[in-house]
Structure 1
Amino acid sequence: MINFIIEAPWLFLIIAGVAGYFQTVTGFGLGMIVMGLAGGLAIAPMTSVAAVVSIMTLINCMVALPGRLHYVHWPSVGMVALGIIPTITVGVLLLNYLSGSAANIVKALLGLVIVYAAAGLLLKPSLQQQVASRISFVWFGGLSGFLGGLFGIAGPPLIYHYYRQPLDLIRIRTTLILLFAVSSGVRTLFVVGQGQMNIEILTLTAWTVPIIAMATWVGRHWPPPFSAQTMLRLVFFVLMLIGVSLIVAGLFS
């Protein structure tokens, strides 16, 4: 445990800082980068990393949201939350079960989720003529809640669904950030309620809080001098590399 506290955080902090910056300038990526790299490199157990990712995402959202709440598409938020809340618990319980008996399966599944999310970046979803039905937001909220509970990564289904809606880009990004905060908050409360918030999670979180806040602040004030398309391609290659590595490691370990 002492070696973990002294040695592991430095690599974890680097990963967290990069991921927090990516999350701020693109609207997604924090959970996938941290889970993929930290979990893949075995810096900490998957259950601990997922719990820390949830807290990190919550912090990132709290720093990124002030002054932007008027952009949120509030009519859809309640519907998505209805789907997120119950499925979060299912994902957390499944992770607890698999991490003890089938860690390699968890790693491969995480890789598949990351590859799917990366592929979705370059495949533009067809834009709908009008905002989707309420039940569709509940459905995609449920899928996101399950992935949020399982890996602390609620993004892929919601990102796909919202980018199909005829809404302004700033409105979509701000709504996604708020929903990621909801997912992360619910997951964290459930983990606390289950008595799983151990010293390992708290130690990693304590190290990470100022790094995430700083990376988010830097991302808001100094975004990279690249076009949006260039940023998407960069994130695509990073996530594909992480995802494929996890799949290979999970299947052939």
Structure 2
Amino acid sequence: MTHEKVLVLIAVIGAASYFQTITGFGLSMIVMGATSGFSLAPLASIATLLSLVTLANSATALPGKLHHIDWRAVGAATLGVLPSVVVGVMVLDYLSASASGMLQLLLGAVVLYGGLSAALRPVPLAQRSGNRSFFVSGVFGGLLSGMFGVSGPPLIFQFYRQPLKLIEIRCALILLFTVTSLVRVMFSAWEGELPASICIEAALAAPVVMLMTLAARHYPPPLSSLAMRRLAFGVLMIIGASLVLCAMKELLV
């Protein structure tokens, strides 16, 4: 990348880090979208870079907040995520291009419908869901991550529907995405696919990520719990719509 593109990329990562800190998600989606839209860099290298900067975001966002985490829920979701990521990659390898496109179209429609229905009724559930429900959301999140690189929607929907405080939801999601990022970084290093250029870019972005994360911790936007839930479900709708549009584009070509 040119120096100008690196600066733009770091600025986008900083803004996305602020958003992720106040909602618990969004860093990967925002950066991937901007990278694709402005042709900043190959998506494969950006995915590795995001895994590294996610660690910097969580290292700044979570200290002093770990007591807010529902460890049983996070543990159950993690048990679902980790093996299903591998399954998702294997399933994608066996599917034809048309079958993969149809599946992505169906998943996008489900995510869009789920986000829309939840946005219209953003009031949380009366009781916390059982741990099995968190495990299932982790399984579907892992499958989406392995097949399409989008692990967030099932986990976001699951946690934002719970009668939990927003800080509990944010910390749980940040921790879950940190676990998947750490696994990806370790796997990339094991495979020898962690080039020095990506590490340098991550080192340059890390101070910006940490500063924006601190800003989000101390100066969050003045939004109510209901507004934050609507924002989360609105972003889910955007993710679902993007999956549908990408699938339709591939099927029609």
- Contact 1:76–1:134 (CA<8 Å) still a contact in 2? yes
Counterpart code for 2:205? T
How do 1:182-193 residues align onto structure 2 when only pairs under 5 Å count?
A: 182-193=179-190
Aligned positions of 1:172-187 closer than 5 A = 172-187=169-184
Superposed, 1:120-199 pairs within 5 Å as: 122-124=119-121, 127-149=124-146, 153-199=150-196
Take 1:135 and 1:60, find their aligned partners in 2: how far apart are those partners?
A: 29
The 5 Å alignment of 1:38-49 reads: 38-49=35-46
Aligned partners of 2:122 and 2:229 also within 8 Å? no
Q: Is the 8 A contact 1:149 1:187 kept in 2?
A: no
Distance 2:163 2:225 in 1: 19
Matched-pair identity in %: 42
The alignment covers a number of residue pairs equal to 243
> What is the CA-CA distance between 1:82 and the residue it aligns to?
1.0
1:37-82 deviation line (CA, Å, top 9, x unaligned): 1133221111111222222222211211111111110112221111
Contact 2:24 2:169 in 1 (8 A): no
The structural deviation recorded for 1:233 is: 6.4
1:233/1:11 CA distance change after superposition, 3 Å = farther
Counterpart contact for 1:21–1:218, Cα < 8 Å: yes
Contact 2:157-2:233 within 8 A present in 1 as well: no
Counterpart position of 2:202: 205
**2:216 aligned partner:** 219
**Which residue matches 2:76?**
79
> Given residue 49 of structure 1, which amino acid in structure 2 is its aligned partner?
I
Per-residue CA shift, 1:65-106, capped at 9, x if unaligned?
Answer: 1111111101122211111111233456788x7xxx99xx7x
**Relative to structure 1, is the Cα distance of residues 234 and 135 closer, same or farther in structure 2, using a 3 angstrom cutoff?**
closer
- TM (norm. structure 1) is 0.77
How far apart are residue 241 of structure 1 and its match?
7.0
Letter in 1 for 2:47: A
